[in-house]
Each structure stands twice: as C-alpha cells, then as structure tokens.
A = this chain, B = another copy of it.
Amino acid sequence: MGSGMARNLLHAGHELAVFNRSREKSQVFEAEGARVARSLADACNGAEAAVTMLSDDRAVEEVAFGEGGLASALESGATHISGSTISTALVRRLASEHAARGQGFLSAPVFGRPDAAAQGKLLVVAAGAPELVERYRPVFDAIGRQTFVAGLEPWQANALKLCGNFMIASMLEAFGEGYATLRKAGVDVQVFLDAMNALFASPVYANYGRLIAEDRFEPAGFALALGQKDMRLLLETAQECVSPMPLASLLRDHMLEGLAQGQAHMDWSSVACVAARGAGL
C-alpha cells in the first residue's frame, strides 16, 4: 500500500522522505525523487506531516511511541496522518499524545487494495480538526479518488472504515452460505453469480463472487488474519458505543474458525470455506 501512495505523492509534486525498516524497500524511491531517510527521526526532520500506513496496533504503537518514534521526532506544529486500519482506542490515544506535544493528528484510513493505491484510486476516510483536514486535502487528493470526512474526532474515521470492511465481509459470508446451499442443491453457482451480477451490478460482488466460486484464495489480496482482526476491532468499537452487532460477531467467529483451520494467510474471502465445511462439502 505504502509504495503506491508514496509514488502518487511524488507525482503530485510533494517533497517526500521515505523510511522503511528494510532500506532496500526505500531505495527504489530515490530514483523517483524521494529522499531516503536513515531513521524515523531523520524522516521527520523538517517535515510538515508524517504519513504512516501500518498493519496493526502494535506496529503503530511502536512507530509512534517507541524510541525515536513520531511522538518524539515530529516537530511541534507538524501533523501525523495515520492511514492504518487500527483500533479506535489507539487512535484516541494517538490524538491525545500528539496534542500534548503540540503536534497535529489526523486519521485517514483508506479503502482499496494495493493496485488501487498504485493508481491513486483509493477512497480516503479522513477525520480530525477541520482546519487540519483542509490543510492536508492535497495529500488525500494525491493518493485517492475521493475523500470522505467522517467527523471532528480522528477515531470516527476508523469507526467508518471498520464498518465499511464489515459491509464487505457480510457479503463474503452471504456468498459462502448461499454457494454452499446451492452446491448441495445441485445448482451451478456460476449461474447464481451471473444473476447476482445482474442484480447488484457491483464490481465488488463480481470480483469476490468469482474468487469464491473458483476457490481462488491465494495469493491473498487481503489476508484472513487481517480481516479477522478488523472484525475484532469493529466489535471493540461497537462495545465502546454500546451497540450490539450480532452479524459482526458471526463474521468474527467464522473468520476465527478459518484461522483455526489454517487459513490465516489466505484471502479473507476464504471465510466462505467455513460455510462449505459446515455443509459437509
């Protein structure tokens, strides 16, 4: 994800320093005009904003609060823009810790897979102080095709993002259960998928419906382990909001069953295997 975003920021004319633990990953950007930073602190040196895109709470905590992390390295008045899909609790902590240091903070998770990131076609969900959102809109415009402002509190962007992943996961489960029953009914699931494509006319249904119909779960576009994590994060947010989400619980449990069956590295659409196994397929 980060590569595509970095390239689009460069193409949009932004001055960019890149940092990655494995220096080789950063190196390729040198030729494209980026400065390769030697450390997080070096990357933050003189920066107006630091954009992070990491896989989970632990990684973000380390980058933000670890030794030499953003909280200490970012200059006062500079802003941390967090693109990671992480817990709303951590986002609240990021907001308050950065504020305590005179730093700005925006949360801006995105919808879209690596290929969308490469084409600058991500959907950006931003939240935070309106003046910050406006100031960094050129960043969002560079990496995405549309930006949605979720609210004044950074964590609201993550609540929205997690609910979006929940909408997709609901569709995956529905395909899984529908296909399982139709297979046992002797109906060709391809005919069902054709009908669903005519009905929903959505590329998301077309893509995932095909992956599941063809049992094509590797390589993963988005790993089941990450999808399961997102359903857990959503349920934590729902708990904070005192809002029961029984369908999200079902998805979390089925994805956990997938992990117990060794599917952690497969695409999250492989949650459909759980319904298939349940039906004895």
Contact = CB atoms under 8 A, between A and B. Distances in A.
B280 A242 contact: yes
A28 interface: no
Interface string A164-208: 101110110111011011101111100110111011111111000
A243 B279 contact: yes
Contact of A184 (B199, B201, B241): B241
A280 B256 contact: no
Given A192-B160, A237-B185, A246 B242 contact: no
Given A187-B151, A191-B150, A256 B237 contact: no
Contacts of A201: 201-204
Given A186-B156, A249-B252, A279-B244, A174 B170 contact: yes
Contacts of A204: 199-202
Interface residues of A, number: 74
How many identical chains are in the complex? Answer: 4
Given A159-B185, A185-B237, A243-B260, 20 more contacts: A111-B195, A148-B194, A151-B187, A151-B188, A159-B182, A163-B181, A167-B200, A180-B243, A180-B245, A181-B237, A184-B242, A232-B239, A242-B259, A243-B256, A246-B249, A249-B250, A249-B252, A249-B253, A257-B279, A260-B279
Interface in A214-270: 232, 234, 237-239, 241-250, 252-254, 256-257, 259-262
A171 B184 CA distance: 24
A170 B182 CA distance: 17
